[in-house]
Amino acid sequence: MTTYTPMMQQYLQIKEGYQDAFLFFRLGDFYEMFFEDAIQASRILEITLTSRDAGAKDRIPMCGVPHHAAQNYMDALLMKGYKVAICEQVEDPKEAKGVVKREVVRVITPGTMTEGKGMDSKTNLFLGSADLVEDGTAILAYVDLSTGEGTVTSFRGEANSLFQEVLSLQIKELLVAENLSLLLEEKAMNSGINLTTSSELQLAEHEQSLQHLPTFVHPTCSRLLHYIHTTQKRSFLHLQPFHYEEKTHYLSIDYHSKRNLELLSSIRGGDTKGSLYHLLDHTKTAMGGRKLKQWLHYPLASKVAIEERLTIVDGLLVDFFLRNELRESLHEVYDLERLAGRISFGNAGPRDLAQLQKSLQQLPLFKAALENSTNPVISSLGESLDTCEDITSLLEKALLENPPLHVKEGDVIQNGYNSRLDELRDAKNNGKKWIAALEQKEREITGIKNLKIGYNRVFGYYIELTKSTISMADLTRYERKQTLANAERYITAELKEKEALILHAEEESVQLEIQLFQALREELKQVIPRIQQVANILSEIDVFQSFAQVSERERFVRPEFHDGRELRIITGRHPVVESMLNSHIYVPNDCILTEDANMYLITGPNMSGKSTYMRQVAITVIMAQMGCFVAAERALLPITDQIFTRIGAADDLVSGQSTFMVEMLESTNAINGATDRSLLLFDEIGRGTSTYDGMALAQAMMEHIHDTIGANTLFSTHYHELTQLEHTVERLKNVHVAATEKEGQVVFLHKVMDGPADKSYGIHVAELANMPSAIIDRARVILHDLEKTSALKTPLQKQKSEQLSMFDASIENELLAIQIGQTTPLQALQLLDELQRKIRLSSKEGN
Long-range contacts formed by 202-207: CB under 8 A, 24+ apart:
202/226
- C-alpha–C-alpha distance, residues 116 and 702, integer Å: 50
Q: Specify the CATH number of the domain 419-507.
A: 1.10.1420.10
Q: In the prediction, which pLDDT does 374 show?
A: 94
> Does the annotation flag 373 for ligand binding?
no
Residues 186, 190, 192, CA angle at the centre, nearest 5°? Answer: 115
Length of the chain: 847
In 3-state terms, the chain is what percent helix, strand and coil (to 5)?
A: 50, 20, 30
User: In terms of CATH, what superfamily is 120-249?
Assistant: MutS, connector domain (3.30.420.110)
- pLDDT at residue 153 in the model: 94
Do residues 6 and 98 make contact, with C-beta atoms less than 8 angstroms apart? yes
The pLDDT value recorded for residue 161 is: 87
- What confidence tens digit (pLDDT) does each residue in 558-580 have? 999 999 999 999 999 999 999 98
Cα separation, 738 vs 6, whole angstroms: 82
Tell me whether residue 288 is annotated as binding: no
Would you say residue 847 has pLDDT above 60? no
6 in a labelled binding site:
no
Query: Maximum Cα–Cα distance for the chain, whole Å?
Result: 131
CATH code for 561-611+640-800? 3.40.50.300
Q: Which residue would you say has higher pLDDT here, 365 or 740?
A: 365
For the chain, state the CA radius of gyration: 36
Q: How far apart are CA 727 and CA 163, in angstroms?
A: 41
Tell me phi and psi for residue 720, to 5 degrees. -65, -20
Ramachandran sector of residue 55 (left: φ over 0; alpha: ψ -120 to 50; beta: rest): left
6 φ/ψ angles, rounded to the nearest 5 degrees: -55, -40
pLDDT at 192 over 70: yes
Per-chain mean pLDDT for the chain = 87
Determine whether the annotation assigns residue 606 to a binding site.
yes
Residue 604 counted as an annotated binding residue: yes
pLDDT > 80? residue 606: no
Q: Which fold, 6-108? A: MutS, DNA mismatch repair protein, domain I (3.40.1170)
pLDDT score of 826:
65
Question: How does DSSP assign 809-833, residue by residue?
Answer: HHHHHHHHH--GGG--HHHHHHHHH
Q: pLDDT band at 533, cuts 50/70/90?
A: very high
- pLDDT tier at 267, thresholds 50, 70, 90: confident
pLDDT above 50 for 804: no
Confidence of residue 659 (pLDDT cuts 50, 70, 90): low
> Which residues are CB-contacts of 725 (< 8 A; sequence separation ≥ 6)?
601, 699, 702, 703, 732
Q: Tell me phi and psi for residue 207, to 5 degrees.
A: -55, -45
> Does residue 71 come out as left (phi exceeding 0), alpha (psi in the -120 to 50 range) or beta?
alpha
Reply yes or no on whether the pLDDT at 700 is more than 80.
yes
| Cα–Cα distance measured from residue 644 to residue 155, given in angstroms and rounded to the nearest whole number | 16
Per residue in 733-789, pLDDT tens? 999 988 777 766 667 788 999 998 866 656 656 666 667 777 767 766 766 675 666
| pLDDT given for residue 651 in this prediction | 37
Identity of the amino acid at 444: E
605 annotated among ligand-binding-site residues: yes
pLDDT in tens, 584-594: 678 999 999 99
- Check if the beta carbon of residue 567 is closer than 8 Å to that of residue 712: yes
Tell me the average pLDDT across 286-301: 96
